[in-house]
Each structure stands twice: as C-alpha cells, then as structure tokens.
Amino acid sequence: MKAEEQTQTRSIPGWQRVLNALALPVLALFSALVLSAIFILGSDPVVLTAFSQFFSAPGNAVVVAGKAIADAYGALFIGALGDPAKVSKELGEFFATGDTNDLAFAFYPLSESFVTATPYIFAGLAVALGFKCGLFNIGAEGQIYVGAATAAFVGYSLEGLPWFVHLPLTFLAGALAGAVWAGIPGFLKAKTGAHEVINTMMMNYVAFNLAHYLLNGPMKRGGAAGAIPISRNILESAYLPTLFPEPIRFHAGFILALLVAALVWWFLFKTTLGFEIRTVGANPRAAQYAGISVPRNMVIAMAVSGALAAMAGASEVMGVNHNLAEGFSPGYGFDSIALAMLGGGHPLGVVLAALLFGTLRNGATKMQSLAEIPIDIVAIVQAFVIMFVAAPAIIRWVYRLKTEGGITTVLVRGWGG
C-alpha cells in the first residue's frame, strides 16, 4: 500500500513543487501587508477622525480607510519600483528620439531597490549558510561592521595599487576579517559548546564599539581634531564601479552578490564540504556516525558565514559610501535573519527575499514623504513576515493549505541546539 501512495506523491510535477515552495512566503508577505494595513490606519489622523464618526457616516470611514491604505502601498510601490507612467513616458521618448535625459530618473527608484538589496543578499546568504549547518548566526550585523572597517582601512591606506589588485584585495580583506570575527564564536561553540547565539550577539557589541572607537580615534578623518566620526574616503582604485550615469548608484556589488549566491549554492550542494555542513546541520549524530567532524564543520560554517556577512559591509563601503561611518548599516544584518528564513535558507530564496526586502526598505522612504506614513511600518511588515514564516502553521490554517507529506523544514533547532 505504501509504495502506491508514495508514487502518487512523487508524481507531482516539478513546477507544482516550486509553486508549493513559493506559496508559504508569498502568502506570508500578503498576510503581513494586510495586518500592517491596520497600523497604517492607526497612524493616519484623517482615518482616525473618520472612524470616530463611524456611526454617523460609516461609508465615509470605510472610503477614507481604503484610500489611506491605497495611498500608502501605492507610494511604497512607486518609491520602490518607480512611477509606471513616468517610466513608460521616458521609455517612449528614448525609443522615439534617443533622448536619455530623464530616463535615469525614471529608473532611479528601481535601481535604488537593487542597491539596497545588495547588502541584503550577502548578509542573507551568511545567515542561510549558518542555518544549513544548524547554526544561528545572529552576529551578521557585527560582521558587517568588521568587514566594512577592514575594507575601508585597506581601501584608503594602500596607495598606488592598480585597481585590479586593490579592488579584490580590499573586498577579500573585508571578507577575511568577517571570517575571523565569526570564526571565534564558531570555535567556542565547537570546543566548549558555548551557544553561538549568545556569542555572536556579544561579538556584535564588541564590533559596534570597536567601530565607534576606530571612528573616533585611529580611523577618524582629519585625526583627533576631525569634526565628525567618519573615516577617510577610500581610493578610487578600490571603488566597485558604478554601471550607469549619475545619479544612479547601481554598482557592480549587485552583480558580485549574485555571483557569490551562485557560488554558495555550488558550495552547499555540489561539494563534499557542503555535504558535510548540511549533514552536520540536519543530523549531527548521523554526521558523527559517518565520520564527519562536527566541530570542524561548525567552525568552517561560521567562518564562511562571517565572510559572507562581511562582504555586505565591504560592498557598502566600496560601492556606495566610499568610507566608514557610524550607523551606515540600518540593520542589514538583523533583517537578514528574517530574510534568510523567508528565503527558506536556500541561496535562490535568499536572493528573492533580499530583492523584496531591498524593495520594501527603499519604497518606505517614499511612502513616508508622500503618504506621511512612518517608515517604521516597513519594519512592522517585515516583523509580520518573519512571524508568519516562523509559524507556518498559521498560514496553512488561514489559507487551508495542505501539509505536504514529508517532514516540515526546520531551519534552526533553536536554543537547545
């Protein structure tokens, strides 16, 4: 009997399995947007006034509420992806006359979404790779700072190098620093069993304060007398090249991020090291049984994870800011935890989730200025997405999704691990 049933589950075509895999994150996002709408309503004085007169004019309240939500999400959309009318007008002009004057402006919002998505891809890959080894690296934010500080230092201090030496050197120096930084909690976990959640979190504080110290001391622009805590600018030979004219900031870091994502996929799924890391993550006892060293793989996974997170910092320094400043990361490392969960811990999923997060964060700025909705709404959307992804049973129940035959994917084993 069992064989027949299994054949049936197996006969589900590939595209349908892809759809199944996408259903949960998409529905989670949708639900998060719906729930966040309540907060949009709550933060809009016009809506609140309309609802205070709900019983005299219920129709009006509903209309006002609908408009508030449409305005907010409309602004979010335009801010993130561009104004469709403007894009089509400029595209039309370009094809008719070859006029490129305002074309860049039409595509500016979209390009900014890619710019914001870039650090998210790196940091999301970092957290996802940790997940695969059963490790919860919540220190990505600190690793970003360490990577950025190292890249900034190498970027401005090594003079006279040709770009094809200086650029990779700067990027890899940042990555290496992140590897060492995250390798420490990895080593502590492997040798003493100290929980990586605690130690990566503590390493965050060390990293933040180290950056604070550096920017107010050794790395401060203009020395101790400098006006603001910001480092010198890196040399142009360490710039990640921008690919479009001003004001578009889109830089090669995005393409690099996609390449790294492909590399991580290959590493995880096509190499013996990846096999070991995934085995340790999925069942450490079976790994041990198979002669795979659990401690060694934990250290490796944490180091690689740290390197990936640090790449986010290096890429921001080399492609966007060209210096190190306090608070340059609006929490990419923390968001990336959610993002990696939303992406199901898979490199492709991470890229998609990073694009989404980049879009949301970028659009939020526009939403704030156009619809006067606080930027925090996006944080709320993200928080809801995380909660729904972390508690898939809710989504399955609300949308009556069938549970798939096998076991549910557990990304992290949590505190007991």
Partner 1 sequence: MPPVLVLDGITKRFPGVLANDHIHLTLEQGEIHALLGENGAGKTTLMNILYGLYHPDEGKVVVRGNAVKIDTPHEAIRLGIGMVHQHFMLVPVFTVTENVMLGEETLKNGIFLDRAAVAARIREISEQYGLQVDPDAYIKDLSVGAQQRVEILKILYRKADILILDEPTAVLTPQEVDDLFKVIRGLVARGVSVIFISHKLKEVMTIANRITVLRDGRVVGTTRPAETSPTALARMMVGREVILTVDKKPAQPGAVVLDVKDLQVLDDRKQLKVNGVSFEVRAGEILGIAGVQGNGQTELVEGLTGLRAIAGGQTHILGNDTTRATAREILQTGVAHVPEDRQRDGLVLSFPVADNLVLNTYYLAPFATGVQMHDRAVFASAEELVQQFDIRTPGIHTLASSLSGGNQQKVIVAREFARPIKLLIASQPTRGLDVGSIEYIHQRLVEKRDQGCAVLLVSPELDEILSLSDRIAVMYRGKIMDTLPADQATPEKLGLLMAGVHPEG
Least spacing, CB of residue 322 vs partner 1, in Å: 36
Is 288 a binding residue for partner 1 by CB under 8 A? The answer is yes
CB of 409 to partner 1, least distance (A): 7
DSSP state at residue 25: H
Q: Which amino acid is at 252?
A: A
The answer to whether the beta carbons of residues 254 and 114 sit under 8 Å apart is yes
Residue 167 near residue 237 (C-beta atoms within 8 A):
yes
230 in helix, strand or coil? strand
**Rounded least distance, CB 292 to partner 1, Å:** 8
Q: Residue 286, interface with partner 1 (CB under 8 A)?
A: yes
Beta carbon of residue 412, minimum distance to partner 1 (angstroms, whole number): 13
Run of H or E residues at 130: helix 103-132
Does residue 407 bind partner 1 (CB under 8 A)?
A: yes
DSSP single-letter state for residue 325: B
Dihedral Cα 357, 103, 328, 348, nearest 10 deg: 30
Minimum CB distance to partner 1 smaller for 88 or for 271 = 271
Does 285 bind partner 1 (CB under 8 A)? Our answer is yes
Q: Give the contact letters, 261-280, x = binds to partner 1 (CB under 8 A), - = no.
A: ---------xxxx-x--xx-
Rounded Cα distance, 124 and 109, in Å: 22
Q: Is 78 helix (H, G, I), strand (E, B) or coil?
A: helix
Residue 273 and residue 123 in contact, taking contact as beta carbons nearer than 8 Å: no
Considering only CA atoms, which of 307, 305, 321, 330 is closest in space to residue 152?
321
CB 323 within 8 A of CB 230: yes
- Positions in 292-351 near partner 1 (CB under 8 A): 292
Is residue 13 near partner 1 by the rule CB under 8 A? no
2 binds partner 1 (CB under 8 A): yes
- CB of 89 or CB of 270, closer to partner 1: 270
Stretch that binds partner 1, among 5-13, 85-93, 120-128, 190-198 (CB under 8 A): 5-13
CB of 9 to partner 1, least distance (A): 7
Q: Is residue 283 within the footprint of partner 1 (CB under 8 A)?
A: yes
List interacting residues with partner 1 (CB under 8 A): 1-3, 5-10, 270-273, 275, 278-279, 282-283, 285-292, 402-403, 405-407, 409
